[in-house]
């Protein structure tokens, strides 16, 4: 990426990453406080419903938001068509969820699912309300304003969760925290992008968008199912209590896998789309993207590997200590899925949504088999199966992208090498430090010293072992700081 496009992309990633990172800390802090008042079964029921609602959010969107960002010749009529279709499908889907609540409750063998699903279904309506203005803002690289919305959503949602948990509302604290966060994300974009230009529905404009969007949404639905089949099978076969422990561990690795990846994809998809006719620059942009994702994600996942037990007890309390072993098995999935996520952006930006759908169907069937086999070993067996399956799928998906954009696998591995090597050095330093001080410090002091030491070791290793990468990162940081002062 060169010039203004590169600067806009890096600035967008910085703004969005800052908001998502801060939002993650707020969310984890709120969950940590609430976990002391809630049962694992409450977290399991909410996680099961969140997966169901997430499926319908993707289906109701019909890929229109992505189509608006990807389309080169966008008109006000396209915006109006997307707005009307999104509102109608999201409202219809929310009503359908309400009517089928008992079915989902029987699927998970949990009566709480039927009770809370109609309320959490309001998240569907909120997603439909905010889809078009959010797509306009992403298309215009207005990520600073989107960052403000995301941060406000995390603060208000987390505050609602904690307040209701302290008032002994049980699972409803999780439900209303979700609804408030979804509401802010839906209404917020209208404050910065209040008009779509015109509101008359034109059938041909709808067809233009749906031609791309329906293929994308099919691929996204299958991909979402593939990444959440563990929740579905644990909830059905092992129960809400087991799903509660699993979801508590998974929420910690969800930042790099979900929040950070969302931050990067919102920014890089418009950039990749702008480069769809220039494969050499697209290859360079792709490699830069996975390099910086790895630099951020790998040390976090490595830290979870070393400090899993202490982190779980510190964040969620002694009563949720069983999630520590699960977290220690899940860290490879968090690392690999994060760096593999730009694969989908390549498919979408090049208009290869049909290929993406075929790939996601195959990946979903593979992961279904892997997780089903892992269920025999309980929730820990599922966590191990998810990590091993994620590693296998990442290699195959990357091979497909290499063929599409004429990228050598060696170049891909070299892009990941700085983060992998420096994270391994960090694990050695932190592991020795923890062994040396085991039993001599309380969990809070031990984790704090490990985090500080790990950060210092990682940055020093990056400076000494990956000088070119660290120099490029510093140059970009200086450029952003200089532009911010102008």
Q: Which range, of 262-266, 295-299, 356-360, averages the lowest pLDDT?
A: 262-266
Cα 318 off chain centre by: 27
Statement: residue 94 has pLDDT above 80: yes
pLDDT in the model for residue 483: 47
Q: What are phi and psi of 18, to 5 degrees?
A: -65, -45
Statement: residue 381 has pLDDT above 70: yes
Please tell me the distance from the alpha carbon of residue 288 to that of residue 474, in angstroms, as a whole number: 14
Other CB atoms within a 10 A radius of the CB of residue 119 amount to 15
Give the residue with greater pLDDT, 268 vs 40.
40
Mean of the per-residue pLDDT values of the chain:
82
Q: Which range, of 217-221, 285-289, 320-324, averages the lowest pLDDT?
A: 217-221
Q: Which range, of 108-112, 244-248, 393-397, averages the lowest pLDDT?
A: 108-112
Q: Which two tokens stand for residue 269?
A: 């998809």
The Cα angle at residue 376 between residues 370 and 382, in degrees rounded to 5: 50
Does an H or E element contain 445, and which? helix 443-465
3-state secondary structure (DSSP) of residue 68: helix
Chain segment 132-156, per-residue pLDDT in tens: 888 877 777 677 777 788 888 989 9
Give the residue with greater pLDDT, 262 vs 117.
117
The helices-and-strands tally (H runs, E runs) of the chain is 20, 0
DSSP symbol at 319: G
Average pLDDT over residues 338-355: 78
Ranges of H-type helices in 234-278: 240-254, 261-274
Cα 298 off chain centre by: 15
Q: Which of the four pLDDT bands, split at 50, 70 and 90, describes residue 396?
A: very high
Q: Which of the four pLDDT bands, split at 50, 70 and 90, describes residue 484?
A: very low
End-to-end CA separation in angstroms for the chain: 22
Q: Is the dihedral of CA 8, 138, 160, 228 positive or negative?
A: negative
Q: Which of the four pLDDT bands, split at 50, 70 and 90, describes residue 319?
A: confident
Other CB atoms within a 10 A radius of the CB of residue 414 amount to 12
Q: Which range, of 9-13, 137-141, 249-253, 361-365, averages the lowest pLDDT?
A: 9-13
**446, 415, 31, 402: which is closest to 250 by C-alpha?**
31
The pTM of this model reads: 0.79
CA distances from residue 422 to 88, 302, 426 in whole angstroms, order as listed:
50, 10, 6
Q: Which of the four pLDDT bands, split at 50, 70 and 90, describes residue 70?
A: low
pLDDT in the model for residue 486: 47
CA distances from residue 268 to 14, 264, 406, 410 in whole angstroms, order as listed:
12, 6, 19, 23
pLDDT in the model for residue 29: 87
Statement: residue 1 has pLDDT above 50: no
**151, 130, 117: which is closest to 47 by C-alpha?**
117
Q: What is the DSSP string of 462-484?
A: HHHH-HHHHHHHHHHHHHHHHHH
Average pLDDT over residues 48-77: 77
Statement: residue 482 has pLDDT above 70: no
Ranges of H-type helices in 140-239: 143-166, 171-192, 203-233
Which range is most confident: 141-145, 175-179, 477-481? 175-179
Chain segment 234-280, per-residue pLDDT in tens: 988 998 889 999 999 998 887 666 666 666 665 666 666 666 667 78
pLDDT in the model for residue 329: 94
Q: Which two tokens stand for residue 175?
A: 């439900």
pLDDT in the model for residue 159: 94
Q: Which range, of 33-37, 359-363, 456-460, averages the lowest pLDDT?
A: 359-363
Q: Which two tokens stand for residue 126?
A: 């909120």
pLDDT in the model for residue 260: 67
Chain segment 398-409, per-residue pLDDT in tens: 998 888 888 888
pLDDT in the model for residue 158: 92
Which range is most confident: 145-149, 348-352, 450-454, 462-466? 450-454
Statement: residue 472 has pLDDT above 90: no
């Amino acid at each position: 990426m060169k010039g203004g496009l590169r600067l806009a992309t890096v600035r967008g990633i910085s703004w969005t990453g800052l908001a998502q990172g801060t939002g993650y800390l707020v969310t984890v802090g709120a969950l940590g406080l609430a976990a002391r008042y809630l049962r694992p079964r409450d977290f399991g029921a909410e996680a099961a419903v969140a997966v169901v609602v997430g499926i319908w959010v993707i289906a109701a969107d019909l890929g229109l938001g992505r189509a608006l960002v990807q389309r080169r010749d966008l008109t006000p009529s396209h915006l109006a068509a997307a707005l009307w279709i999104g509102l109608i499908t999201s409202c219809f889907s929310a009503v359908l969820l309400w009517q089928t609540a008992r079915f989902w409750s029987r699927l998970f063998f949990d009566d709480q699912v039927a009770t809370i699903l109609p309320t959490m279904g309001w998240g569907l309506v909120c997603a439909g309300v905010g889809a078009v203005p959010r797509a306009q803002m992403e298309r215009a690289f207005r990520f600073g304003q989107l960052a403000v919305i995301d941060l406000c959503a995390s603060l208000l949602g987390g505050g609602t969760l904690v307040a209701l948990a302290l008032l002994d509302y049980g699972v409803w604290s999780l439900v209303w925290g979700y609804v408030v966060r979804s509401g802010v994300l839906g209404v917020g974009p209208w404050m910065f992008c209040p008009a779509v230009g015109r509101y008359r529905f034109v059938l041909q404009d709808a067809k233009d968008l749906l031609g791309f969007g329906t293929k994308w949404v099919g691929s996204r639905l299958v991909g979402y199912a593939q990444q959440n089949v563990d929740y579905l099978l644990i909830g059905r076969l092992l129960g809400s209590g087991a799903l509660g422990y699993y979801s508590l561990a998974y929420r910690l690795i969800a930042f790099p896998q979900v929040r950070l990846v969302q931050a990067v994809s919102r920014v890089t998809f418009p950039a990749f789309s702008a480069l769809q006719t220039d494969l050499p620059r697209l290859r360079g942009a792709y490699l830069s993207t996975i390099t910086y994702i790895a630099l951020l994600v790998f040390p976090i996942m490595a830290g979870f590997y070393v400090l899993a037990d202490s982190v779980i007890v510190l964040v969620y309390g002694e009563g949720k200590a069983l999630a520590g072993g699960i977290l220690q098995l899940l860290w490879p999935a968090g690392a690999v899925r994060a760096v593999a996520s730009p694969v989908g952006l390549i498919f979408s930006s090049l208009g290869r949504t049909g290929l993406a759908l075929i790939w996601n169907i195959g990946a979903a069937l593979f992961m279904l088999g892997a997780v089903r086999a892992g269920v025999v070993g309980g929730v820990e067996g599922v966590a191990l199966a998810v990590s091993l399956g994620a590693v296998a799928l990442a290699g195959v998906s990357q091979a497909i992208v290499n063929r599409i954009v004429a990228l050598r696998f060696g170049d891909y591995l070299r892009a990941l090498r700085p983060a992998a090597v420096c994270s391994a050095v960090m694990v050695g330093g932190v592991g020795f430090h923890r062994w040396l001080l085991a039993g001599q410090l309380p969990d809070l002091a031990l984790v704090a010293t490990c985090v500080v030491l790990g950060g210092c070791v990682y940055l020093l290793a990056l400076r000494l072992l990956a000088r070119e990468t660290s120099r490029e990162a510093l140059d970009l940081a200086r450029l952003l700081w200089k532009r911010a002062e102008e």
